[in-house]
Amino acid sequence: MTRRRTYAALAALALPLLAGAPPAQAAAPPGDRHYVDCSLTTPGDGTAAHPWTTLAEANAHPYGPGDRLLFRRGTTCTGTLQPRGAGSAAHPFTIADYGSAAGRAVIDGNGAHDAVLLADTSYVRLTRLEITNAAAPGSERNGVRLRLADHGAARGITLDHLAIHDVRGGDHKTLTGSSAIHVAVEGTTVPSWYEDLEIHHNDIRDATARASTSSPASPSATWSATSRTPTPTPDPGPRASASGSTTTP
């Protein structure tokens, strides 16, 4: 009888403790923030206090699910942004801006073949940047190029709310440019394609001579160059001419 009373007393004490226990904390989402401020000259470590100062530093880091690569508004980085890595369906890798300056963060290709190159990757969002590539006009170049080479499926890539302008490519067009946005599939050994590729709400102006294009790299390739993207709702708004300007709503 004494044992039963002891067990009952212990149970009575445990109930209030359990009732008052704090709820389990939800796991923090994956990913880190990496900052770039090309107006600075002292190399940093990619933190908000000591941002990277060149595209080379940003390109050297491998990115993963939930990571954010952020460029300071009102500054310009020169060269090619070519980040490595990929996100996931639940936690994409995002390339965007930070700060409160009125002007956008600018990626200036400065005559390079691509101002931004996203190669063999998935679950990446590129948004809210200004992209230009006007130096040394007449040579082949692109604003943003998506490229697959014997990769397989590239899923969940989004280009939105970009301002792309003055992409001064040559008049002779090839399968690798020139375009404001160029989507390419290359290779001969692994079938490759895009799934859920979204390109929307971009302002494209003065791109010589195509606003956007999609192409395979050779007629004998053994992959599918078709973008497996849901059919969008028809848009009655304006469309770009070869050398004109447009705003994609």
Q: What is the pLDDT of residues 129-180, one digit of tens each?
A: 999 999 988 889 999 999 999 999 999 999 999 999 999 987 767 778 889 9
Q: Is the pTM of this model over 0.85?
A: no
Task: Specify the pLDDT at position 15.
Answer: 46
Percentage of the residues of the chain whose pLDDT score is greater than 90: 64
What whole-number distance in Å separates Cα of residue 6 and Cα of residue 175?
83
Q: Among the residues of the chain, which ranges form H helices? A: 2-19, 55-60
Whether the per-residue pLDDT at 248 is higher than 90: the answer is no
DSSP state of 119: E
> What is the helix (H) or strand (E) element at residue 183, kind and residue range?
strand 179-186
Looking at residues 59-88, what average pLDDT do you find?
98
Q: Any residues with CB less than 8 A from the CB of 226 and at least 6 apart, and which? A: 193
What whole-number distance in Å separates Cα of residue 242 and Cα of residue 211?
7
Task: Specify the pLDDT at position 146.
Answer: 97
DSSP state of 57: H
Q: 202: closest CA among 141, 148, 154, 131?
A: 131
User: What is the chain's length?
Assistant: 249
Percentage of the residues of the chain whose pLDDT score is greater than 70: 73
Task: Specify the pLDDT at position 249.
Answer: 38
Query: 175-225: per-residue pLDDT in tens?
Result: 788 899 999 999 999 999 999 999 999 999 998 756 666 665 433 333 333
| Angle 18-20-21 from CA coordinates, rounded to 5° | 65
Query: 3-48: per-residue pLDDT in tens?
Result: 555 444 444 444 444 455 566 677 788 899 999 999 999 999 999 9
What whole-number distance in Å separates Cα of residue 125 and Cα of residue 117?
13
Task: Specify the pLDDT at position 189.
Answer: 95
* Structural contact between residues 94 and 72, judged by C-beta atoms closer than 8 angstroms: no
Task: Specify the pLDDT at position 151.
Answer: 96
Looking at residues 53-71, what average pLDDT do you find?
98
Task: Specify the pLDDT at position 59.
Answer: 98
Query: Which is more confident, 234 or 140?
Result: 140
Task: Specify the pLDDT at position 78.
Answer: 98
